[in-house]
Amino acid sequence: MDLRALRYFVTVAEERHVGRAAVRLHMTQPPLSRAIRNLEKDLGVRLFDRTPKGVGLTPAGKTLYDEARALLAQADRVRARVTGAGRLSVGTLADTAEQVGRSVVELFRRRHPGVTVDIHEVDLGDPTAGLRAGLVDVALTRSPFDDSGLGTRVLRSDAVGVVLRDDDPLARRKTVAPVELAARPGVRLPDHTDPLWTDYWTSGPPAEDAPVVRTIQECLQSVLWNGSAALAPVGQPLPPGLVLVPLTGRPPSDLVVAWRKTNEGPLVRAFAESATA
């Protein structure tokens, strides 16, 4: 099992389609398929469920995906240290990069012009934006989440509202109370998501058949199509047909920069200082 095979595997897992992964890797499909089959043979497990529409990760594949991402990120960091190049991996969650990205990028590049920054965007199932998995050096994310072992700095606090269809009776209200959402279908976040994060960002226990949503756009589409109630920071850009009404009784969500305390190196501190500034 070599790093190239792991990079191939990760790309196929992210694209969920061998053909699209081959295009992204600038190679043809047959050698990529052979590499994946050889990796499965080497490990003695099936990594993907194949269907006419694409591929999906098996339980073994999901485990390898997390481990492979961490291993590849560490390999990149080792290469950067050996070659003397400055490199920083930044995790982002949902809207966080858009909220502060441009101003942070401009200041950090001005202060550290020789540093290469890799961006890693995660889904709503990981509020640490890759920190816990060791995929990134520093993260731009939102509270609340389990921050044990992590350092954080608050960049901004945002009130939270409920996203509703514009034809919903509650859409004409100035505020909505959580109790008024009790009968509404909620959204379901991925299994094993941080309980602090799940409790804060869901309006209540979801229905047993509620689909899992992994991105902000999936949440918004669930509201449009199914009338679900989804929570979002006030100011979240919305597509036509949706409105956001402030939710009472919910503390604000902090936009934060976070890092592992065991990995608080010079570049991490520099990035946190640029984000705070």
pLDDT digits (tens, 9 = 90+) for 194-247: 999 988 888 766 667 777 888 888 888 888 888 888 889 988 889 999 999 999
Query: Do residues 164 and 246 both lie within one domain?
Result: yes
Backbone angles phi, psi at 39, to 5 degrees: -65, -45
Q: What radius of gyration, in Å, describes the C-alpha atoms of the chain?
A: 21
- Neighbouring CB atoms inside 10 A of 249's CB total 9
As for how many domains the chain has, the answer is 3
Query: Do residues 152 and 176 both lie within one domain?
Result: no
Domain that holds residue 127: 86-156+252-277
Dig out the tokens for 11 from the structure: 């790309």
Tell me the HSE value of 67 on the side-chain side, using a 13 A CA sphere.
8
Query: Do residues 80 and 118 both lie within one domain?
Result: no
Mean pLDDT of the chain: 86
Model-level pTM greater than 0.95? no
Each residue's pLDDT, cut to its tens digit, for the chain (277 residues) gives 788 899 899 989 988 899 888 887 878 888 999 999 999 999 999 999 988 888 999 999 999 998 998 888 777 666 655 544 578 888 888 766 666 666 787 788 888 887 888 888 888 889 999 898 888 899 999 999 999 999 999 998 999 999 999 999 999 999 999 888 887 777 888 888 899 998 888 876 666 777 788 888 888 888 888 888 888 998 888 999 999 999 999 999 999 999 998 887 788 888 888 888 7
What is the rounded distance in angstroms from the CA atom of residue 230 to the CA atom of residue 5?
Answer: 39
- Neighbouring CB atoms inside 10 A of 190's CB total 13
Query: Do residues 229 and 106 both lie within one domain?
Result: no
What is the rounded distance in angstroms from the CA atom of residue 224 to the CA atom of residue 187?
Answer: 12
Backbone angles phi, psi at 125, to 5 degrees: -80, -10
Angle between the 29-43 and 3-15 helix axes, to the nearest 10 degrees?
110
Query: Do residues 137 and 207 both lie within one domain?
Result: no
- Neighbouring CB atoms inside 10 A of 75's CB total 13
Instruction: Assign residue 100 the CATH number of its domain.
Output: 3.40.190.10
Query: Do residues 206 and 277 both lie within one domain?
Result: no
What is the rounded distance in angstroms from the CA atom of residue 123 to the CA atom of residue 96?
Answer: 12
Instruction: Assign residue 18 the CATH number of its domain.
Output: 1.10.10.10
Q: What is the pLDDT of residue 256?
A: 93
Residues 6+ apart with CB under 8 A from 74: 134
Sheet containing 242-246: which strands, arranged edge to edge? 230-233, 160-165, 242-246
Q: Alpha carbon of 132 to those of 8, 109, 277: distances in Å?
A: 23, 26, 25
Query: Do residues 180 and 245 both lie within one domain?
Result: yes
Backbone angles phi, psi at 183, to 5 degrees: -90, -5
Query: Do residues 207 and 273 both lie within one domain?
Result: no
Last residue of a domain, one of 85, 109, 140: 85
78-86, long-range: CB within 8 Å, 24+ apart, which pairs? 80/116, 85/114, 85/116, 86/112, 86/114, 86/115, 86/116, 86/267
Q: What is the pLDDT of residue 38?
A: 93
Q: Give bridge partners of residue 91 from the DSSP assignment.
A: 120, 139
The secondary structure element, H or E, covering residue 253 is strand 253-260
